[in-house]
Amino acid sequence: MTYQTLIVETPSEGVTLIRLNRPEALNALNSQLLDELGQALDAAALDETVRCLVLTGSDRAFAAGADIKEMSDKSYADMMKLDFFTGAARKLEQFRKPVIAAVSGYALGGGCELAMMCDFIIASETAKFGQPEINLGVSPGIGGTQRLTRFVGKAKAMDMILTARMMDAAEAERAGLVSRVVPVDKLLETVLEAAGKIAGHSPLAVMMNKELVEAAYETTLTTGVALERRLFHSLFAFEDQKEGMAAFVEKRKPDFRGR
């Protein structure tokens, strides 16, 4: 499949790299890009050989938000009918395989929200995160007020959303928004190495681990721990558990088949 606003590659076995590619607009998310992103996510979901996704932009911008030029003249009714962000966002939120965001440069507005919908963010030293929608007379619209607050806490979320200030990579790491910060020329290498490790694990165990960490945001501690115990037990139904443990005992590399 070829896309106009994305570059989709397979840099290594099991890893799909989706690069947002509207450099002239700092990867602003317009309806075409979001439509194509939805199609790329559908294709990756159906393809059993894909075990981990990486979502990235350019060195200058992961994405500078939704396309303001496309949105500016829309009415309430237009926005309701078009609802142009929701389809791709739902697909990303419900994507069952792991997705890593590799963020360099600007991740603003919908760009920051898109990065936060991924399972974790690895950032370059030049990354800048922000929810500057207040400057445009609007609010974040695709989870920014909710996810940013859960990830960095109320004080920083209020500060960023109400003043529109950006958070640099070092602050984002201190605040827990990103898992690691690396030099810009090492970003892709680092992220692809992490994605390669994930792709080498049992895809069933990966899916369950992802589901369990996500549950921590949706349930009480008691319910989450009970769910973890039940899913842990259920992993013993898979061949991959036998293979993983046998490989450890036999001092060899496991060969996970996803069964």
The footprint of ligand DAK (CB under 6 A) covers 25-26, 28, 64-69, 79, 83-86, 106, 108-110, 132-133, 135-136, 141-142
Is beta strand 6-12 parallel, antiparallel or unpaired with respect to 15-20?
antiparallel
Q: Which residues are catalytic?
A: 66, 110, 113, 133
Sheet architecture: strand order including 106-108: 61-63, 106-108, 128-130, 167-168
Segment (H or E) for 93: helix 86-93
For residue 154, the 8-state DSSP code is H
Q: Is 66 exposed, middle or buried (0-12, 13-18, 19+ CB in 10 A)?
A: buried
- The residue among 79 and 226 lying less far from ligand DAK, judged by its C-beta, is 79
Minimum separation from the CB atom of position 179 to ligand DAK (A): 23
- The residue among 136 and 205 lying less far from ligand DAK, judged by its C-beta, is 136
How far is CA 252 from its chain centroid? 32
For residue 134, the 8-state DSSP code is G
Gap between the Cα atoms of 39 and 54, Å rounded? 15
Minimum separation from the CB atom of position 60 to ligand DAK (A): 8
- The residue among 135 and 219 lying less far from ligand DAK, judged by its C-beta, is 135
Q: E strands along 152-219, which residues?
A: 167-168, 180-182
Instruction: Find the residue with minimal CB distance to ligand DAK.
Output: 109
What the block records as the tokens of 191 is: 């992220």
- The residue among 24 and 250 lying less far from ligand DAK, judged by its C-beta, is 24
